[in-house]
Amino acid sequence: MLPPSTTQHLGSISPDGSTFTFSQLTSDLEALSVGDVIAGDVSDQAANGFLRKIQAITPAGEGMILETEAATLEDAVEQGAVQATRVLTPSDVMGTVFAEGVTQSATLSGHEPLPFVLVLDDVVLYDVDGDPDTTDDQVVASGGLTIEPSFDFALNLRHSELEELRFVSQTSETVEIRIEGCWGTDLIAAEVEVARYAFTPMTVWIGAFPVVIVPELTVTVGLNGTVESTVTTGVTQHAVLSSGLSYKSGSWEPIWSLTNDFVFDPPTVDLTIQFRGQAPGRLTLSLYGIAGPYAEVVPYLELDADNLSIPWWTLYGGVEVNVGVDTDLLSDIVESVDQEVIDYRLLLTQASSACSGSVVLLVPPNGGILTPQNPYVSWTCTGQVSSDASWLDLQVATDPSFSHTVAEPYAQPSCITWDLDIVNSWALPAGTYYWRAALLCGPGWPPPGPTSHVRGLWSEIRNFIVQRP
């Protein structure tokens, strides 16, 4: 480590971070050799500290020039451990950037810890003609975000190798997003960074060796979809979650927990629309301002509307969480990792249907096995079942989104057992399948399409495994 008595003579660092120019020699500088690793705490010339390996040493007047390359903690530390835990608050912020239409509200009185409160007022997500003076072709987002971020970061080095690492981001957030617009385009894909918070670097120590952690929080609002319509809709989601990664014994393991709830505005929409609006918040811990772990929380609303379908619109809410660790400054051996640790999606509401009643899947249980000796699935109907619920629509697919349906037989609701020998003429090969069921209301046989039958709510989605001899 280069102490403050030496770094006070650091005159400059090149823009690419490779060249260090010292205006005066010190005993610490005179003791350096090519191949040594240098590290320094936060200083006037090194706002995020530094960790570098010396490639060349050149005398320069009364000082010295060091040519360096990237180094890792494994290069610098033979053995040691470090841990950092912090709740991030507005008082920790060193700098902010806000998009047009975004303001930071006063924090909640008496609330501890103090959260970040953002207010969005007609933030433009998409503008068909690119002219801000014409607003009838814009898609805008309004609402607010309240975020309480914190993190726990720990690592252990042994024999100059990364032995353990643990990163967990804890977040409590309330996201209220309302999207409005009149759109005349077939495809929209837009993302706006609405806020960026740069936090004061924090230094933790492995003995006398500094590890400088630079937190940063970014918040974006995005939209993508296919649109031929006007729309107004909104969802408020409150979530408390933990997400992260743990490295031990040569492998990565995800860490996560989630509790959340939704409040929503039923959409006002016509014609056809399929879009997803989201408000990702990403917390990054950069070691020496370069690379490190991150956690990205992506709350979203999703609206699908098609006036030829039944129900003709559905509104979903959900949250995805992606975590990762860039190990460039940690290890030469352990590879970087990125994982999705939470993928939660919930049907909030849909267009009213005259076909009431619910289908509950019974057998097989989720993940159950079907064989030629036991090829049966079963269900039951609950609730106030419509008097004209004449058929049940059973779908079997190879994916949970049912974009690849392999069978769709119809059964009478009173028939609660179905032999998959009959499904698709015993043509299901071995593998994993997903199934769901819904009531169909209306007369006629065979069951015609949705133009004359009204489909009720889909059941939950389950999967089963087909095993063959």
In percent, the amount of the chain with pLDDT more than 90 equals 52
Residue 29 lies in a domain: yes
Say whether both 242 and 95 belong to one domain. yes
For the stretch 254-308, pLDDT in tens is 999 999 898 887 776 655 667 788 889 999 999 998 889 999 999 998 888 765 5
373/288 same-domain check = no
The answer to whether residue 305 sits within a structural domain is: yes
Name the DSSP class of 48: T
Residue type for position 302: E
Same domain? 129 vs 187: yes
Percent of the chain with pLDDT over 70: 85
- Look at the block and give the residue holding tokens 């989601």: 237
Question: Is 77 domain-assigned?
Answer: no
| Count of structural domains, the chain | 3
Amino acid letter, 466: V
Helix, strand or coil for residue 11? Answer: strand
Residue where a domain terminates, one of 333, 350, 367: 350
pLDDT of residue 391: 78
Find out whether 397 and 423 touch, Cβ atoms under 8 Å. no
Q: 244 lies in which domain range?
A: 82-350
- Per-residue CA distances from 50 to 68, 80, 218 (Å): 11, 19, 23
Q: Kindly state the tokens that stand for 231.
A: 């729309």
> Which tokens is 407 given?
């069978």
Q: Which of 5-14, 192-201, 369-378 has the lowest mean pLDDT?
A: 369-378
DSSP secondary structure of 75-98: HH-SSEEEEEEEE--GGGEEEEEE
411-458 residue pLDDT tens = 776 666 665 554 443 567 889 999 998 887 765 554 544 445 677 788
Whether residues 336 and 450 share a domain: the answer is no
Which residue among 47, 71, 95 closes a domain? 71
Alpha carbons 71 and 39: distance in angstroms, whole number: 10
Q: What is the 3-state secondary structure (H, E, C) of 316-356?
A: EEEEEEEEEECCCCCCCCCCCEEEEEEEEEEEEEECCCCCC
| Span of 11-25, 57-71, 297-311 with lowest mean pLDDT | 297-311
Strand partners, 349: 315
**Among residues 40, 71, 102, which one ends one of the domains?**
71
**Is 76 within a domain?**
no
Q: Which two tokens stand for residue 69?
A: 């390359």
User: Is 266:142 a contact under the CB 8 Å cutoff?
Assistant: no
Verify that 129 and 268 share a domain, yes or no.
yes
Q: What's the pTM?
A: 0.72
CATH number at 460 reads: 2.60.40.10
* 372 and 231 within one domain: no
Q: Which helix (H) or strand (E) holds 30?
A: helix 27-30
Based on the domain organization, do 343 and 362 belong to the same domain?
no
Backbone φ and ψ for 22, nearest 5 degrees, come out as: -105, 135
Rounded average pLDDT over 382-410: 80
Q: What would the mean pLDDT of 406-415 be, rounded to a whole number?
A: 74
* Phi, psi for residue 425 in degrees, rounded to 5: 55, 45
Note whether 258 and 277 are same-domain residues.
yes
- What gap in Å lies between CA 258 and CA 344, rounded to an integer? 9
Q: What are the structure tokens assigned to 439, written together?
A: 């009531």
